[in-house]
Structure formats: structure tokens, C-alpha cells
Structure 1
Amino acid sequence: MRIDAGEPTPVPLDAIELFDPGAYLRGSQHGAWHTLRHHAPVRKEHTPWGTPYWSFTSYADCTKIIKDTASFSSEDGVILASVGKGDSAGGRTITLMDPPDHATLRQPAMRHLRQAVVRQNAEHIRASTRELIAPLLAGGEHDVARLMRGLPMAAAGRLMGFPQRYWETVAFNTTASVAPEDPEYAVGRSVEDTLRRVHHKLFAAFSEIVQERRRDPGDDLVSGLLAVRIDGRPMDDQQLLMNCYSFALGANSTTPHVASHLFHTLATQPKVWDAVLEDPELAGNLVDEGARWVSPTHHLVRRASRDVTVGDTEVAAGDWVCVWVASANRDERVFPHPYTFDLHREPNPHLGFGVGPHFCIGAPASRVALTTVFEELARRRIRFAPTAEPTHLYSNWINGLTRLPMTFTAGR
């Protein structure tokens, strides 16, 4: 989705359409979200197949719903495509589980991806990241969006237990699984055919990885999952593979898109990059504000497990609700001048990596890798500029770029 600086032009309420993935491919929804926050922060919507759901756009309502796992369940699905249909993996993967079961998988995952572990492995992450961006440091023209597809595995592939030979397979096919209609990822004759193909490749790779870790367990996430006991029993192979997919999907639906959009933002707002060139230590601030600015996840879905009040709205048990994370990250009541990219924004309680029990487990590793990208470029005083307009991902869920050709030159 296009991200412009400056307050957006409001959109008439009766012209707002948030479900259509094409709207995110063609332009920006920030004008629509601005209108909704000010005039209809809670609104009843319907999916194309007729299922009603509540749409929430304010920061306060969005954070309340995401944090309140006792009232709002993830087990029926977490994206708009699940509304009224559910998810066959509900209750079996970490993203589709509620506490206390959710903690059964989250706690061992945290042991391998928590801040302390990332600090211990920071140099490995930085080295993998430097290897990935070596072509940019050398100069010339490169497709940044395609290159950044490898960043999540550079950040966390080793910690997750994914051997490097699987990284590109995991990166491409996880994105294809969430945007099967996008021309970059449509590898089949239909959406269903694309999904069959990419899921086959992913689960074949995860099956090989699990077998390797069974033979030779290590200090990594997959080995940790093999040791998990649910109700006293280990997970079956299907659940193991589904959780490998869930963790990989989480990594590949955030990190590369923050990076790619940041490159484009810096090219269109050169004064921000000038400030980082003068002080490369600002790269950490750049990444944090970048996660707010980009909001790699447009929305999250929950289903009410009991009657509950959100603000002035009575939500009944069984109702579907959609929280627009990208809107919450522009809420003027929380972020002064939200349409300005502010390197010194403090505080910055953005939802770019989530919040509450489902906060992104891989966020610490992602931050190290993202910071390394821009720190290395700044220390070498590299400048960059687009050579063509970016191509946006066809998705109402993930704010991604599929193409971003840019030239890189060393500065003085």
C-alpha cells in the first residue's frame, strides 16, 4: 500500500471499502482510516460472502481487543479471509491458540528467540545480514523488495533451526500463501492451485527439517517444539509442521516489508536519511518509527468468546471483530503528528510487532537485522534512489512490496 507523508485526504464514509485487496495494490487506505477514526471508529461491515463483522480503527479499541484474550479468541482465525469460515488449524498453532494453551507453545519458543538469546547471537545475525546486503554496499541497481525477502531468515533462520538451504523456499512460499492472487506469487493456474503448490513445498521442507532435528537436536526453535508436551503428549507430525509454518509466516509477514517500505520512504524523504547518515546510531530509532510508519500488518481478526463491551459498543458472543492496526498506528490521540516520520518520536507505543500475549516473538531478532541493514548503509554513506515505481502486494492483510528497483551509490 502506498504510504504518503502529510495528512491524507478524507474519504466519504459511503465510499470506504476496506476488504478489497485491490485497494491496497492501487493506492492508500490512510484517508479511509482517518475518516473512520473521526466519524465512525466502530462500524459494522460485511465480507463479500455476507458475514458481518465489527471494524475498529482507534488505538484504544484495537489494543483492548488484542490484549483481552479472555473475551476475544484467535482460534477461529486471525485474518479477514477467515471471517465466517474459520481456520482448519484453529487451536493447533501458536497464532491460532488462546491462553493458557497458547503459553504451552510460546514459552519454549521464547527460550530460543527471547532478547537474551538474540543478544548472544547478535553477531551471527549481523554477519548474515551483512552477507545479504553485500550487493547494496557494492553499488549498482538492485530490486530491494526481492533482496529483503531474505532478511527474516538472516535474522532468525538459525535460531529457528532452519538450515540456510531452505531459506529462499520458506521466504517465497510463505508470502505466496498469504497473497496467492499476487502476480509475483501466483505459481498455479488458480488461487487454489497456487495454495496447493506452495503449501506442498513448505510442508515438504518443514518435514525434512523436523526429521533432521529429530536425528540431531540443537538449541533452536524446532528442537524446542519437538520437546513440547501438550496434555502430557508430544505434538503429532501434522501439528509440528503447522507450527513451523506459523512461526515462519510470522517472520516473513513483517520484517521484509518494514525494510522495503523503509527504503522507499527514505528515498522520498531524503532529510530523514541525511539525519541517519550524520548519526548512524539513529538506525535503531529509524527501525522503531519505521515499524509504526509501515504497519506491516494492516489488520487482525478475533472472535468474541463472550458478550463484551468495547467503548460504547456491545459485542455479542460469536461476533467477529477486525482491528485495523495500521489505523491505530496513526491515531492522533496517541501519536502527535502521526503523518510525520519522526526519528525522535518518544514514546512510540506502536503496534507494528503486535501487543499483548501475541506480541511478535521474533521482534528482537528482527530489530537487530533491520538496524544492521541501515546502520551498515549509513556507515558507508550509501545513497539510494528508485529507478521505477514500486509494485505493491495484492493483500488486505500484509502491507508488502513485491518490486522496488533502486540504484545504490557510495557517498562522500
Structure 2
Amino acid sequence: MAHLPSEVYLTNTFMHSGNVSPSTPKLQLQLSIPIPARDPTYYISDGNTVLLVESTLFKVHRSILKNDKSTFDSMFSLDSDLRSNSDASSSSVTVGPEGESDDNPIRLQGDTADEFRALLWALYATPPDFERAVSPKSNNLLQLFNLARITHKYEFHAIERWTLDTLTKRYTSSDPPSSIDDPHEPSLVQLTELASLCEKRALLDAATKRWKRVIASGKDIALAIGVAERHNMRALLGLAYYTMMLQGREQWDADMLLTRAQRIRLLSGHYALGRLGERIPNEPPSLAHSPRCAGGAQVRCNQSWAALWRSLLEMGRQVLPLQYADVVGKVMMAESVVKALVDGNIPTQGMLDGMPWCKDNALAAAAGKVKELQETLADYFTDVV
């Protein structure tokens, strides 16, 4: 018996068994092979090249696809050489050349019909079409996203640059797209991956700002961790891990998107930051001294700053309901108190008397420590507990 797919064999065995009764349900094999359909816009009657993308047939002008020395240019050149060699070695052709009919189209793998349709829009667009596309009121962000992806793949460099610049302006404008769940827009994950793929720093920064707002709302933190790890986005990775850490072990265990390795990193971060929180009151950030603060005055200034820093960190641990490992919260609290003291918003009670010329520098030192912690948070979440 010829070898059959398991579904066909089961169907035949089941239906021809002597134990089958009229009421026995029959296993049916359903084949779902989509029939290619012509695109309503870009199946152009006088086109000379047929391409199949997913289940959609496009008929376009080969010359338009060769613009900007794209990948199609070299593809078609290679195809022409192969045809010449084939004609020289064979006088009979059983199948028409690839791309010259619906029966034998050029098949593009890994693309979507929407992406290819976006490419053809750009290749056939007129100047007014491009002007409308850059308008903030245009509901075309998904089209631009598809266009950026496919022009990057096929090396339409000029169109890719225009598309990425347009997307960046839209996402960094004073009135950027407000929703990340709009079906007419790429998702935040897609936007981040596009910016990383195309190495568009400004667009990646815009995506990072959106991720920070999402994390601040307490949503999709595990998703943010995964994206930040894939694309080595250190600042975002540290913030996402830190926020998830503060939510507690029960939340880590309940979030199905977190991997075992990520949970280990959370434990490692909790331990490392907790130990840092114990040391940091005795490790005041370095203080830059005023030119007026010299000799013995610097010694007194350093002593006064160390005492103030220690008292603020100890006060934060005793007074505020901050978690054991919330080092950033404790240092930010210390910075806010130093600022209030320097600005005269709260009584100094002699705490700044030992640093009469370096008060502003003390505030800069506290702010610098906050920034340093925020920028290095990812370093605490390692695979070693």
C-alpha cells in the first residue's frame, strides 16, 4: 500500500471498518488551500511581471521594482542570465518563464500582502500622495510600518529613509499617536522591533518613552522585559525588572510571560539591591567643592555631607513605607529633601551649616546618584543569586 498522510489513512480505516454504524461520526479530512486572487489595485493590465505574495497576485512593471538599485534589480538580472543559459542549452520549454503568468508567478516568501501593497503604493505614488502621507491627520501608521519593513528587506534605501523619518516625526511630534492598541497602528512591540531592525535611534527612543509610560501604569511589564532583553535596551530593561521586582514574588509567579531565567534574575536583583540599600547610607556620593571651600573647610564639608546623607537615608528607611530593596526610592527621597533644604522650603536645623559654599553641589551629587542608579539598574538583575 502506498504511503499516505496519517489523516488520510485514519479516515480510510475508520470509514471502511466493519464496526462503523450509521450514527458513528466520521473523521473528515478538510484541505484548505487558498486560491490566489488578483489584487484589486495592483494587478495592472499592462504590467509585465506577476508576483505571488501570500495568496494575492500582483501584476506590475518590472522596471518599477528595479528602482533605487533594490534587491529586485539583482534578482531580475540573475533571472535574465539564467534564461539566456537555458535558451542556449534547450530548444523546448514546457513551462513559461517565472513571473510572466498567473500560473507561474514569482513567489515572495516571508512577506505579507499588506507589506507588498505598501511597497507598490510608494513606487507608484505621486508627489501629492507623499504630501498627504506625512500629514499628522493621515490614518496610515500601519501602512508606513509595513513600508519600512519591506523597503529595509529589499534595500529600497531612499524610500526606507523617507518612511523612517516620517514615522519618527509622527511619534516624536507634540501630538503623537495616543493609543498603542489601535488596529490602524503597529503595536509597541512591532514599533520597537522595527526601530531596532533599521537602527533608527530616534524612533527607538520614542518607543522607549512609550514603554516607560506603560511600565509606570503597571501594565505589560513582563512583555517589556522580553523586548528589552531581545534588543539589549539596558535602561528600559533595568526599569522593567525593577518595577516587576517591587510588585513582589506572588506577582512574578503569577505572570505567565516570565521565564524561569527571568525569575532568577528578579531574585538576584532583589538580593543585590537589598544589600546595596544597607551599604548606601555610609557611602555618600562624591561632593564637588566650591573654590571657596578649601583646606580644613573641605574636611568639615565632607563630614557634614556624609552625616546629612546618612541621616536622610536612615530616616527614609524608618519613616517611609519603602520596600527593603527599593534603593532608587530611598535615594530619590534623599534628593528631594536636600532640594527642599537648599531651596529653603523646610528648616535646615543646622544640617547645612558645615557646607556653606557647597549646598548646591550637594544637591547635584544627590541628583547624580539617582541618575547613576537608574542607568545601572540592569546590572543588578543577573543570572546569579
Q: Which has the larger radius of gyration?
A: 2
Report if TM-score (shorter chain) is over 0.5.
no
TM-score, normalization by structure 1: 0.18
> RCO higher in 1 or 2 (8 Å CA, sep ≥ 6)?
1
TM-score (norm 2): 0.19
